[in-house]
């Protein structure tokens, strides 16, 4: 998927990730970026938009300036903590949880206020990824984000579901009926039964 975005990067600006509760959105985002850093748990975990700005470290900036030729480790900086650099991505996860509670309170409430996170790495492309709360709790919020014609809609759905009834796919098709800027990501391919093949799923674009 990274290679796809690398090839299309000149005309892409923002990727908005949508999906159902516990539907694998966060895992897809982490796989794309190459780090585990999003909150885990049962039920509603993402409770506010998480805007992740990816910055590719260029060759001339890849090594420490002290001359020891040690590669610069991947790191992250939060918009609400601009002076603090996070190199441990478990700490990034914990900070997201804490800031979510600040913005949305404790429990299952949803906030439309954003958590801004910048990630720097030599292994990513320059891109903005927005991970949104589950469709079940934030339909209006999601519509606002994916209605922008400059966004790519990344609709995450389980391969074991009836594809045409997938909430993320239905919503993406409503906003982008010709699928000009929609990519469907199928997860849990291994759970498909013997009578169904992922290649048979009726969509123009999908990533396994």
Instruction: Return the pLDDT at 41.
Output: 76
Reported as a single tens digit per residue, the pLDDT across 144-196 is: 999 999 999 999 988 765 667 789 999 999 999 999 999 989 887 666 555 55
Q: Which pLDDT band holds residue 204 (cuts at 50, 70, 90)? A: very low
Measured distance CA(16)–CA(101) in Å, rounded: 22
Instruction: Order the strands of the 50-56 sheet from edge to edge.
Output: 81-86, 75-78, 115-121, 50-56, 127-131, 14-18, 151-158, 182-187, 206-207
- What is the CATH number for 6? 3.40.50.300
Which is more confident, 49 or 203? 49
Task: Find the Cα–Cα–Cα–Cα dihedral 89, 76, 152, 109, rounded to 10°.
Answer: 70
Residue 167 — φ and ψ, nearest 5°? Answer: -65, -40
Reported as a single tens digit per residue, the pLDDT across 59-118 is: 655 555 555 667 788 999 999 999 999 999 999 999 999 999 999 999 889 999 999 999
What's the domain range around 18?
2-207
Instruction: Return the pLDDT at 6.
Output: 54
- Residues 182, 188, 190, CA angle at the centre, nearest 5°? 130
Beta strands in the chain (DSSP E): 14-18, 50-56, 75-78, 81-86, 115-121, 127-131, 151-158, 182-187, 206-207
Q: How many structural domains compose the chain?
A: 1
Instruction: Return the pLDDT at 24.
Output: 87
Q: Which pLDDT band holds residue 206 (cuts at 50, 70, 90)? A: very low
Helix (H, G, I), strand (E, B) or coil at 33: helix
């Amino acid at each position: 998927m990274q290679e796809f975005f690398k090839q299309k990067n000149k005309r892409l600006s923002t990727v908005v990730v949508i999906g159902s509760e516990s539907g694998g959105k966060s895992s897809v985002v982490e796989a794309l970026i190459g780090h585990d850093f999003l909150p885990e748990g049962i039920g509603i975990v993402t409770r506010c938009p998480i805007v992740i700005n990816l910055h590719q470290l260029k060759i001339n900036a890849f090594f420490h300036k002290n001359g020891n030729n040690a590669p610069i480790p991947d790191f992250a900086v939060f918009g609400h903590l601009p002076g603090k650099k996070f190199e441990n991505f478990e700490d990034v996860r914990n900070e997201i949880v804490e800031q979510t509670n600040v913005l949305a309170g404790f429990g299952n409430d949803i906030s439309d206020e954003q958590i801004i996170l910048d990630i720097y790495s030599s292994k990513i492309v320059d891109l903005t990824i927005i991970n949104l709360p589950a469709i079940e709790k934030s339909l209006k919020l999601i519509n606002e984000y994916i209605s922008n014609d400059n966004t790519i809609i990344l609709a995450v759905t389980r391969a074991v579901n009836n594809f045409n009834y997938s909430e993320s796919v239905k919503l993406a098709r409503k906003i982008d009926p010709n699928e000009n800027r929609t990519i469907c990501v199928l997860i849990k391919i291994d759970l498909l039964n013997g009578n169904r093949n992922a290649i048979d799923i009726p969509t123009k674009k999908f990533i396994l």
